[in-house]
Amino acid sequence: MKMTPALLVIGGLMVFWASVTVAVFLPHATLNDQPSDIWKPMSEPDVAAGHKLYVRNGCSYCHSQYVRVLDWDVGSERIAEKGDYYGYEPAILGTERTGPDLSQEGGEHPDDWQLAHFVNPRITRPVSLMPAWEFLGPTEIRQLNAYVQFLGGKDADVRVARQQRWKPPAIAAWLAGPAKNVEWLHAQVPKVWQAMPNPYPATEPDLLRGQKIYQQECINCHGPVGDGQTVAANYMQPPPLNFTILRGHLVEGKYIGGIFYYQIMNGITGTAMPYFKRDLESEKIWDVSNYLAVRFLGYTDATIEPRGIPASYEPEWKNTFVAPTTQEAK
Amino acid sequence: MLAFTKKTNSAALAFLGGGAFWFAIGATYGLFSAIDLVAPDFFQNIAVFVFGRVRPTHVNTVIYGFITSMLIGCAMYMVPALLKTRLWSERLGWVSFVLWNASVLSGPIGFPMGYTQGREYAEYLWAFDVTLMLALLALIVNIVMTIAHRRENSLYVSVWYFVGTAIWISAVYPLGNVMWHPSTGAMPGLLDSIYLWFYGHNLVGLLLTPLAVGAAYFVVPRITKTPLFSHTLSLVGFWALVVLYTHIGGHHLLQAPIPNWLKTISVVDSLMMFIPVGAVLANIWLTARGKTSLLWKDPAGRLVLFGTLFYLVTCIQGPVQSLPSVQRLTHFNNWVIGHAHIAVLGFSGFVALGAMWHVLPDVCGKKIWSQRLVSLQFGLVMIGIVGFFVVLTVAGLIQGGSWYNGETVYRSLPLITPYMVMRALLGLFIIASAWVGLVNFIMTLRHGQPHISTPIEEAPS
């Protein structure tokens, strides 16, 4: 076969366009794009503006927008469908996850958490690699937030409504003063969890593990001494809890471990406190609970009654912490 | 007026110089990106250094500014040389150069300020899509007219690849950039991802690869003073490339909700890429068989030789990672970044640099100012790219493995910290190699000894 200019150009173009027909035009003709059950139009101006900002600022180089069957992280309650992207231009799917997938981010966090996180992600997420976006100014951050809260369509609406449902009572409780606030927070934990001690010993290794988790997940909101007096407090309504006051608010004068566990696992929707059930598995949450209790309350309910058969690994450990009397705590 | 634009090979020289310059700029932007991933508050609140803005600057500058420019420069010299004629119009070549660089320049100027269309690899704004297309069309006219005025009847394989690249990419580019939607440069809905990854993958497949293969087909027989091993293998490699590469963009979307038949085609054709890659590498290496010492001794040949080796690595890794079972661990993480670097810098970047140093004396009429600096450039970029590939592959497997086993993205970030630090440090080697190359290029033009160019003796079919 001798390559002549005619063969090269005409043959090259014929093969190329045949391939384009298969790889591009055929999908184009047959994709049959229809809105999915959760799809919503990008009709609000702030959402549309936020979408443009998301595209312009290259958010998609670190955040994908489709959840896969094998995912465990944010949004993995729903696998992406083609109709989720109907009419969005561009529907920016992304190729990298230096940050989490955002296709179901709407309503994961309330607006105040998102605002602080855009100003500087380290305010809420200490080891995040995301840039600080404070330079965009309040208007553009508001628009980005509107877009992020939109992500997930009608599923996001459910979550956003839940955040909005619980924000006013959380603020009201905080405004009622520390004692009333803690009382309200405790009351939101199911009864069976309230009178539950931490089942695991607060050994030194256990506390060190708890400390490491605290530094990676909690420290920038609740602070190095657990008093909640942090930069994050400037952004959040209600502000992060001061753990030290809990010493005077133990359930039945002795329990706090179960409440810690439940609130870390589940978060407190409506407040900036996120759930950590995806980030931390059971043992880590118990370790953090012991760390909070020992470091910031000077007391832990670890291994007190009621308890079942100790786990096989448990060393000989005696809880020598004495529950504070109500008088002493105050 | 502008008499220098009429000088023989002046347009080729301009493209080569542009490539050397943009390598330095593009690699430097890579460092900014790498720093952002080590210390995200290093450039806190300096808008132009935000990761989402410097990454596209790095990527586009390297692809369009460095490698494509440099290889177009090589092609503008090689095509006339192989056809025993001159470039049809130096002035039209300069028109291409100016338009092309207007597009490339719009990256470092526009992206850091947020002027971008934001689709990966298709970021240039519509106006600069237009200048880039005009540059391509001017190149096509120039090459076609050069062929029409040729004094050598048969077309050597390098010419096929250069012509093929020009006609294919001038269709891939407007399709992938959805140029009929000027404001967004995108199709609505999920369909856009199919357009985008048809384009994104063919940017490697029908732009960088054929340009680099064409250049390697020129350099290797010339340095080893051996005719090309096989005409048949050349044909197989060329036609299989355009048949197969065009179908495989879907492998970027295997885990997205695109049609299954499209995923199947993309995986099957990805695996079949062994055919064109094998044919090309067998042809080039069998040509050099027994004479690789000639390639090794010449720093330019060494760059091309290692470029072909990295082509093999890329094209073993690429088909393997197109398999759905492998992608469960490799998708969305730094594994892919490692693959992209070995493909773009390791393969086409090495070949572009080698081919550039090989043709530069013939293009500018001066000997390379310092062969030692070319060797130094080779050494620096070797350390950089091999290190990058290892570090990013490991980091990617750590990310992929931890996600697959139930960790969140956030929890996996501390795991990759040491690799992100190593990547930034290894990047310094690549940047150093780019600046060493730029200095050597400038010094060659200013202080190089005169060089009497040798005409191409024969154009093997």
Compute the distance between CA of residue B33 and CA of residue B52 in angstroms, rounded to an integer: 9
First-to-final CA distance of chain B: 40
What per-residue confidence (pLDDT) applies to B456? 64
Residue in B closest to A63 by C-alpha: B332
Task: With CB atoms and an 8 Å threshold, state whether A129 touches B36.
Answer: yes
Q: Is the pLDDT of residue B461 over 50?
A: no
Q: What is the ipTM of this complex?
A: 0.94
DSSP letter, residue B159: H
Q: Does any CB of chain B come closer than 8 Å to the CB of residue A7? A: no
* Each residue's pLDDT tens digit, B133-155: 999 999 999 999 999 999 999 99
* Fold entry, domain A176-329: Cytochrome Bc1 Complex; Chain D, domain 2 (1.10.760)
What per-residue confidence (pLDDT) applies to B182? 95
Closest CA to A3 of B50, B238, B205: B238
Q: Is the pLDDT of residue B241 over 60?
A: yes
Instruction: Write down the domain spans for chain A.
Output: 45-158, 176-329
Q: Which listed CATH number (3.90.1530.10, 3.40.190.170, 1.10.760.10, 2.40.50.140) goes with A45-158?
A: 1.10.760.10
Amino acid at B440: N
Q: Does any CB of chain B come closer than 8 Å to the CB of residue A137? A: no
A-contacting residues in B 377-406 (Cβ below 8 Å):
399, 403-404, 406
Of A19, A57, A62, the CB nearest to B246: A19
Q: 3-class secondary structure for B223-281?
A: HHCCCCCCHHHHHHHHHHHHHHHCCHHHHHHCCCCCCHHHHHHHHHHHHHCHHHHHHHH
* Each residue's pLDDT tens digit, A7-64: 999 999 999 999 999 999 999 999 988 999 999 999 999 999 999 999 999 999 999 9
Q: Give the pLDDT band of residue B109 (cuts 50, 70, 90).
A: very high
A-contacting residues in B 421-440 (Cβ below 8 Å):
none
Task: With CB atoms and an 8 Å threshold, state whether B410 touches A279.
Answer: yes
A-contacting residues in B 329-348 (Cβ below 8 Å):
332-333, 336-337
- Best of B183, B246, B415 to substitute, by most chain A Cβ atoms within 10 angstroms, is B246
Residue in A closest to B145 by C-alpha: A5
* Each residue's pLDDT tens digit, A60-80: 999 999 999 999 999 999 999
Compute the distance between CA of residue A213 and CA of residue B425 in angstroms, rounded to an integer: 29
Amino acid at B212: A
Q: Does any CB of chain B come closer than 8 Å to the CB of residue A132? A: yes
CA distance A21 to chain B (A): 10
CB-CB neighbors (< 8 A) of A117 in chain B: none
Q: Give the pLDDT band of residue B459 (cuts 50, 70, 90).
A: very low
What per-residue confidence (pLDDT) applies to A327? 57
Residue in B closest to A92 by C-alpha: B119
Q: Is the pLDDT of residue B60 over 80?
A: yes
Task: With CB atoms and an 8 Å threshold, state whether B409 touches A73.
Answer: yes
CB-CB neighbors (< 8 A) of A27 in chain B: 191, 194, 258-259, 262
Burial of A45 (0-12, 13-18, 19+ CB in 10 A): exposed
Mean pLDDT of B183-199: 95
B-contacting residues in A 265-294 (Cβ below 8 Å):
278-279
What per-residue confidence (pLDDT) applies to A328? 60
